[in-house]
Amino acid sequence: MVNPISSDIRKQGPLTAEIASRRRVIAGLGGAALLAACGPTGAPGSAPEGAPASTQSGELTWIIADAHTQALKDWFEQTLIPGFRKDRPNVKVSMLYASWGNDFDTKRDTLYAAGTGPDIVQSGAVMVVMYALKKMTIPLDDRLRRWKDWADYYPVTQATMRFQEKQYGVPARVDARAMLYRQDLFQRQGLRLPETWDEMRTAALALTRREGDQLVQLGYSPTTINNQRLFPIVWQNGGEVLTPDGRKPVFNSPEGVDALRYWNDLLNAVAPAGSKPPPAPPSGASALAAGTVAAELTGGRPIADAIAATPEVLPHLVVRPPLRQRRAVINVFNNWYGLGSQSKTPDLAWDLLQHFNRPEHLLHFASLHGAPVPRKSLRETGFMADPRYQMKAWTEMLEKYARPQPLVPSYADCWKAVDGALADVRTGKWNPKQALDDAARQWQLILDEAYRGA
């Protein structure tokens, strides 16, 4: 659950803490790398938007969870930030690294509670409602209208950070979902790659192999059904997750119940309770790369991992569109960055965010994640043109099949309600209708509370 901010940001008066105070808070959190140690720190203000870079001064704090590897940290500290400071010698940038979950929430909320909120704020794919209702980030519409590059971003990636007709951020990392297959396993059985639910069920059962009670090959990944996997199958079966205004859950419709029943039955047929799972894959490899799973609904991580660890299996990994029942549709996740509401230098922070979003920078950042770039003009540039990544297929997901993961306030509570109910279905404690009805009841309470007074 997201840690509550200890004081209501909407009720705070003018900020009085100076940059030195912000640095003390960050140092106390133990996660910041103070880049650009040389050069004087400017006054709390900065030059107006559009002013010459050499006249800009100030200190920026950027909290980020999407720099979780040393390669990413090195790129920020050795390339991106020095490039920004080259013409801005009086600017400092403090990177506050965090891990997704409690670590990120605590560091972010501690800064806001102290009145020293970050200038640039990391957001996950579903955080915009919370960020907007709590006024943690500011709308960017005026700035985006003056930024010609904004029209280059895929509309489905822009939608992830839009709430009540206001845009709160710029997408940076796309986690597109699709069907990923071990094509050679299908070919050995004389099976074509599935396009529908029923074709997938037939293939999954045919490709599942056991030796006694030991599973040695799974025709479909038995990954636990959670919110990320429930919503696309509800959509594919003709249902919806929320009403158009986002205030009422409807995933417990007959379409949602039937979808959950279908896939729960399939997963139980592939990997029934008591079966021993296949051996764990080698370090750095996925089950698809190891050949112990034939099909999975997933993002691009298995391919990126295979490029690094098991390149010999790359010809066997194939990306295909989502499966179709009544329609073919898939969810997409777009992590993004916004401007913090407590920033004293929002114009300077916006300049840094634009610097990060230059084509060459976005391409490198995305390549380190093995993820599609959210800009249309870059679909055949740099690593996006490398056939090993199959980025043509991933961008097809964005252009033809993708919908944003549903946007809700108190998202951690909503996901917990759904995931707990689905786990009870998997173990047979509840049937699909009971589980989804209970999860919808919890969602309604959460949504009513979050939107009260909004």
Mean pLDDT in the chain? 89
Considering only residues 40 and 328, tell me which one the structure prediction assigns the higher pLDDT.
328
Same domain, yes or no: 81 and 203: no
Residues 372 and 317 in one domain: no
Residues 43, 170, single domain; the answer is: yes
Whether 149 and 200 map to the same domain: the answer is: no
Mean of pLDDT values over 293-310: 93
DSSP letters, 277-335, are PPPPPPTT--HHHHTSBSEEEE-SHHHHHHHHH-GGGGGGEEEEPPPBSSSB-EEEEEE
Tell me: do 310 and 432 sit in the same domain.
no
Q: Which of 15-24, 69-78, 301-310, 445-454 has the lowest mean pLDDT?
A: 15-24
- Structural domain includes residue 392: yes
Same domain, 257 and 386: no
Report whether pLDDT(5) > 90: no
* The pLDDT value given to residue 19: 43
Rounded (to 5) percent helix, strand, coil in the chain: 45, 15, 35
Same domain, 160 and 309: no
Residue 106 makes CB contacts below 8 A (sequence gap 6+) with 3
**Higher pLDDT residue, 277 or 433?**
433
Q: Which two tokens stand for residue 128?
A: 């915009």
pLDDT of 56 reads: 87
* pLDDT over 50 (residue 53): yes
What would the pLDDT profile of 68-109 be if each residue is shown by its tens digit? 999 999 999 999 999 999 999 999 999 999 999 999 999 999
Q: Which residue has the higher pLDDT, 36 or 302?
A: 302
Bridge pairing between strands 330-339 and 402-404: parallel
pLDDT band at 222 (very low <50, low <70, confident <90, very high): confident
Give me the pLDDT at residue 223, please: 82
In this model, does residue 186 exceed pLDDT 90?
yes
**Percentage of the residues of the chain whose pLDDT score is greater than 90:** 80
**210 part of a folded domain:** yes
Return the pLDDT at 345.
Answer: 96
* Res. 149: pLDDT tops 60: yes
Total of domains in the chain: 3
Q: What distance in Å separates the CA atoms of residue 283 and residue 178, rounded to the nearest whole number? A: 24
Name the pLDDT band for 9 (thresholds 50, 70, 90). very low
Q: Which of 5-9, 165-169, 432-436, 449-453 has the lowest mean pLDDT?
A: 5-9
Band (pLDDT 50/70/90 cuts) for residue 54 is confident
State residue 181's pLDDT score: 98
421 has pLDDT over 80: yes
With a cut of 50, say whether residue 407 has pLDDT above it: yes
SS3 state at 12: coil
Report the CATH number that the domain containing residue 160 is assigned in CATH: 3.40.190.10
Q: Does the residue 326 lie in any domain?
A: no
Amino acid 40: pLDDT: 37
Q: Are residues 337 and 248 in the same domain?
A: no
What whole-number distance in Å separates Cα of residue 122 and Cα of residue 111?
A: 13
User: Structural domain of residue 60, as residue ranges?
Assistant: 9-175+333-404
- pLDDT over 60 at 339, yes or no: yes
Q: Hey, CA dihedral for 427, 432, 434, 438, is it positive or negative?
A: positive
Closest CA to 302 of 290, 318, 285: 285
pLDDT of residue 382: 95
232 lies in the same domain as 109? no
What mean pLDDT comes out for the span 106-121?
97
Domain end residue (candidates: 363, 384, 404): 404
pLDDT at 205 over 60: yes
Whether 3 maps to a domain, the answer reads: no
Position 42 scores a pLDDT of 37
**Per-residue pLDDT, 212:** 83
On whether residue 4 sits in a domain, the answer given is no
Is there a domain that residue 234 lies in? yes
